[in-house]
Amino acid sequence: MPNYLLYRDDVETIAPDEAETKQKIADVMTDGLKLAREKYGRSVRISHAKAHGLLKGKLIIEDGLPQELAQGLFAEPGHYEVLIRMAQAPGELLDDSKLSTDRGMSVKVLGVKGAKLDGHVGETQDFVFDVGKQFLAGGMKEFLQAFKPNAEIAPKLSDSVKGAVSTVARATNAALNAVGANSEKLAFYGHPVVHPAAEEYFSQTAFRYGEYVAKLGFFPASPALEALKQQPFDPETPDALRDAMNEFFRTNPAEFDLRVQLNTGLEDMPIENAQAEWSETASQYQTVAHLVIPPQTAWDPAKDGYFEDLTFSPAHALAAHRPLGSINRARLFVYGLLAARRLADNGRTAEVPTSLEEVPS
């Protein structure tokens, strides 16, 4: 068994000017909210604005996990109700037929007991994942530099212009993939055109994992999802992703494995650089739970209204799964501020669900 890194309070390195950088990110994102509100007549999420999957399911924790995997939420076998929101990455309501962007999958686990992070209300544990094992920026300063022009310019461009960018980016990334490389920045607007339920989704950043440190990922694990990977997918309408999700989940159940990659050392698996790849030779992803989704309507307006009042955040977490690293420290500061602003702008209040029975269907 590899020698896994034990969690310590000093695994993070905090820059002296982080408070200033976090505030700059909050300011830029607040300006982005204003631009989107002017465009759509209401506030939308500054990232992952357009949902294509609003799902109910169950998270089943495996029995008999070894000590290093039986940590935090996964310390005991059992099952939890979950809410799942799948969406495009940008903070815009984009035309699926013109752009292919990164996708995200957020999972809210209900009925979670135990000590939570300061300020967390409710008995929930959120997992906020995206496609790609690495984040588009190493730390919060690099993220600010990359995100600022996107927040200031992208809402002002037409979907047709962004679509041209998307086409070029997909072609460039295909060439990079052919030689064993990839660009997370290009993938943001040039993501491969595949069915969103066939994707793998990752935490991209590090988290405390009880006594250890880890990254996490959801991996398609049921035959129907595996078959989706082999099927052509050609979005031809503005809401093609929603239509595709509804068509699939109308008759198909789905299952994802939740897997954990434990850290073996900060030199080779840094926490502060979210762009660094953690070697799967040194530490492979290991299954700790199964996300089971029964057939249902994947997206409908009734659910959308309820889910828009939900907030998904790394800050909604057990203390045993505290987010780590520069990017996550920025998230912990910014997510709550932006969610509160979005809800207030729309005259709404946050939903804090305790059961799937509360969700419209």
pLDDT digits (tens, 9 = 90+) for 87-102: 999 999 999 998 889 9
Q: What share of the chain is helix, strand, coil (3-state, %, to 5)?
A: 35, 20, 45
Q: What DSSP string runs through 200-248? A: -EE--S-EEETTEEEEEEEEE-SHHHHHHHHS-----STTHHHHHHHHH
Report how far residue 172's alpha carbon sits from residue 187's, in angstroms, rounded to the nearest whole number. 9
Report how far residue 261's alpha carbon sits from residue 131's, in angstroms, rounded to the nearest whole number. 16
Structure tokens belonging to residue 43: 């506030």
Amino acid present at 288 = V
Q: Which fold has domain 18-159+197-358?
A: Catalase HpII,  Chain A, domain 1 (2.40.180)
pLDDT at 343: 96
Close Cβ partners of 334 (under 8 Å, ≥ 6 residues apart): 22, 25, 26, 29
Show the CA angle centred on residue 148, arms to residues 94 and 41, nearest 5°: 40
Structure tokens belonging to residue 144: 């600010």
| Percent of the chain topping pLDDT 70 | 88
Close Cβ partners of 301 (under 8 Å, ≥ 6 residues apart): none
The model's pTM: 0.89
pLDDT at 166: 41
Domain chopping of the chain, boundaries? 18-159+197-358
Report how far residue 264's alpha carbon sits from residue 269's, in angstroms, rounded to the nearest whole number. 7
Sign (positive/negative) of CA torsion 304, 337, 130, 156?
A: positive
**pLDDT value at 186 more than 60:** no
Q: Give the count of alpha carbons within 13 A of 116, CB side only.
A: 17
3-state secondary structure of 189: helix
**pLDDT value at 271 more than 70:** yes
Report how far residue 165's alpha carbon sits from residue 190's, in angstroms, rounded to the nearest whole number. 7
Q: Phi and psi of 178, rounded to 5°?
A: -65, -25
* Residue the block writes with tokens 């040039």: 190
**pLDDT value at 267 more than 80:** yes
pLDDT at 151: 56
Q: Could you read off the pLDDT of 277-313 as tens digits, one per residue?
A: 999 999 999 999 999 999 999 999 989 999 999 999 9
**pLDDT value at 183 more than 60:** no
Amino acid present at 356 = L
pLDDT at 268: 95
* Residue the block writes with tokens 């204003």: 34
- 78: nearest Cα among 66, 87, 97, 65: 65
Report how far residue 248's alpha carbon sits from residue 52's, in angstroms, rounded to the nearest whole number. 12
Residue 110 β-bridge partners:
124
Report how far residue 33's alpha carbon sits from residue 50's, in angstroms, rounded to the nearest whole number. 14
3-state secondary structure of 126: strand
**pLDDT value at 178 more than 70:** no
Q: 10 Å Cβ neighbour count for 354?
A: 12
3-state secondary structure of 27: helix
**pLDDT value at 174 more than 50:** no
